[in-house]
């Protein structure tokens, strides 16, 4: 039995990540313009299962653009919150389709909780950095004051 080396997976560069995000944002913007009542993150509504087929049939975007747009849209905090609350799912015309299942609600809530945790952790880290910077500034002021007093003492 020989060990075959695993193919190396290249991580995308920051420029590639930025380019992908911009492409997804553009695709979401196209959907928001074409279907403002459905693709509105200020008033997010759960989308029906299989909405990508309806979008592909409409020809507004390519299948790749639809995939990227839906991926970005359905991972957004406001959309996940809407799914976590439950209710009905909507098609492109705004008609209700089916009800959000309990397991879908709990999965969405887990994702919302994970986003909240990341945001909270980031805020805690920012607060720690801010406090350290403030402490360093206070030390610098004390040191500067002591040095000025020492210089004044030496010059007198």
CA 152 to chain centre: 55
Q: Check whether residue 29 and residue 62 sit in a common domain.
A: yes
Q: Check whether residue 108 and residue 91 sit in a common domain.
A: no
CB 63 within 8 A of CB 56: yes
Residues 6+ positions from 77 with CB-CB distance below 8 Å? 112, 115
Q: Is 82 exposed, middle or buried (0-12, 13-18, 19+ CB in 10 A)?
A: buried
pLDDT in tens, 50-72: 999 989 988 878 899 999 999 99
Residue located via tokens 């004051």: 145
Q: Check whether residue 49 and residue 94 sit in a common domain.
A: yes
pLDDT in tens, 85-131: 999 999 998 888 799 999 999 999 999 999 999 999 999 999 899 99
pLDDT at res. 153: 82
pLDDT in tens, 68-96: 999 999 999 999 999 999 999 999 988 88
Can you give the residue range of the structural domain that contains 31? 13-100
Q: Check whether residue 85 and residue 113 sit in a common domain.
A: no
Residue 77 belongs to a domain: yes
Q: Which token pair is 6?
A: 């695993």
Helices (DSSP H) in 59-101: which residue ranges?
A: 63-74, 77-85
């Amino acid at each position: 039995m020989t060990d075959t080396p695993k193919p190396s997976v290249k991580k995308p560069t920051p420029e590639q990540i930025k380019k992908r995000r911009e492409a997804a944002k553009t695709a979401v913007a196209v959907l928001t313009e074409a279907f403002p009542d459905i693709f509105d993150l200020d008033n997010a509504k759960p989308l029906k299962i299989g909405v990508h087929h309806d979008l592909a049939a409409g020809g507004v975007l390519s299948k790749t653009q639809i995939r990227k747009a839906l991926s970005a849209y359905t991972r957004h905090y406001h959309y996940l919150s809407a799914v976590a609350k439950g209710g009905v799912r909507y098609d492109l015309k705004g008609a209700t389709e089916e009800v959000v299942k309990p397991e879908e609600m709990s999965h969405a809530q887990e994702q919302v909780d994970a986003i909240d945790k990341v945001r909270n952790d980031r805020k805690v880290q920012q607060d720690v950095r801010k406090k350290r910077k403030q402490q360093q500034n206070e030390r610098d002021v004390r040191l500067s004051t002591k040095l000025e007093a020492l210089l004044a003492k030496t010059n007198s």
